[in-house]
Amino acid sequence: MSFVEFLQQLINGLSLGSVYALIALGYTMVYGIIGLINFAHCDIYMVGAYIGFFAATSLGLPFVPTLILAMVGSAVVGVLVERVAYRPLRKASSISLLITAMGVSLLLENGFNAVFSSTPRSYPHNILQQKNITLGPVHTDSLHLIILGVSVLLMILLQFIIYRTRIGKAMRATSADKDAAALMGINVDWVISVTFAIGSALAGAAGVLVGILYSSIDPYMGIQPGIKAFTAAVFGGIGLIPGAFLGGLMLGVIETFVTAWYSPLAGAIGFIVLIAILIVKPSGLLGKKASEKV
């Protein structure tokens, strides 16, 4: 592989990886705070894509308002799901929560299929000027760079929220110890809702970006990226936000290079990585071994 090709594949990988990272953030934040793997998260990604689609076509909005509307819409759906499906089960066993999450996932997928049919829809062509860009010998296109850019921006925003605001402090506290946080006067319900809202907004943004990039959205589009993003979150260390960033980007790059080397392995590589990390370092790349204090 020549250096130019290497660079090009690196850009591909980072771009793909940033989409995984955006989705993985939602998985990791929710797990960090209530210990639930939110299987419905990948469908929030799909919901965001559809909201963006309708914003762009029926309302004819340009890119930035579409993105914002989709993020807000996804946040609302995420919070709704939490209120209706997960909050009543807060005290129940984690199995019940898991099954409920799967139920919500099926509901969203099949609900959208029933209402919008599984025929893929396309975002309008002119929503984002797609220019082929040549940086020296490297060919890429403006959309990939925009995806990278928007993802990085959103992740920086997230870091700011988590580490520089009061609500962020409350989120970190709740994530460390829910009961202690409640004792300190933090409204845990509110913090959890905000967590879901932020995670869902990021997933919704990813949905819009991907919808524009691949010109096609359908009710089942979340399943594949969802599994990969979940893998990325585990790979980086589930429950840790930097883990989701790192895991997402690395998985994107690994997947791209493996596909370039031997493409029939493309689908399997995500799972191979998952199995490998669970065998070698189950707490993830950035995770610490959580020992039970007896």
Partner 1 sequence: MANRRIMACVLSLALTASFAGCQQTNGSASSSAAAAGNAANTAASGDTIKIGFVTPLTGSTSSYGQSSQKGLQLLEEQVNKEGGINGKKIQIISVDSEGKAATAVTAGQKLINDDKVCAIVGPVLSGSSNALAPICQQYNIPMITGTGTNENITTAGDCIFRTCFTDPFQGKIMAKFATEKLKAKTAAILYDNGSDYSKGLAEAFKSAFTGKIVDTESYNSGDKDFNAQLTKIAPYNPDVLFLPEYYEDVAVIAKTARSVGIKATFIGGDGFDSPKLFSIGGDAVEGVYFSTHYSADDTSAEVSQFVKDYKAKYGGDPDAFAALTYDAGKVLVDSIKKAGSTDGTAIKTALKNYSGTVVCGKITFDKNRNAVKAAVIIKTENGKGKFFTKITV
What are the residues binding partner 1 (CB under 8 A)? 2, 5, 8-9, 12-13, 15-16, 117-120, 122, 125, 130, 132, 134, 139-141, 144, 210, 213-216, 218, 220-221, 224, 255-257, 259-260, 263-264, 266-267
- For residue 214, the minimal CB distance to partner 1 (Å) is 4
Which is nearer to partner 1, 120 or 242 (by Cβ)? 120
Which is nearer to partner 1, 43 or 255 (by Cβ)? 255
Which is nearer to partner 1, 130 or 159 (by Cβ)? 130
- For residue 64, the minimal CB distance to partner 1 (Å) is 23
Which is nearer to partner 1, 107 or 188 (by Cβ)? 107
- For residue 150, the minimal CB distance to partner 1 (Å) is 17
Q: Tokens 């309302």 label which residue?
A: 59
Which is nearer to partner 1, 90 or 125 (by Cβ)? 125
User: In this structure, are residues 40 and 108 in contact, taking their beta carbons and an 8 Å threshold?
Assistant: yes
- For residue 257, the minimal CB distance to partner 1 (Å) is 8
Cβ-Cβ contacts under 8 Å for 242 (sequence gap 6 or more): 236, 286
- For residue 292, the minimal CB distance to partner 1 (Å) is 36
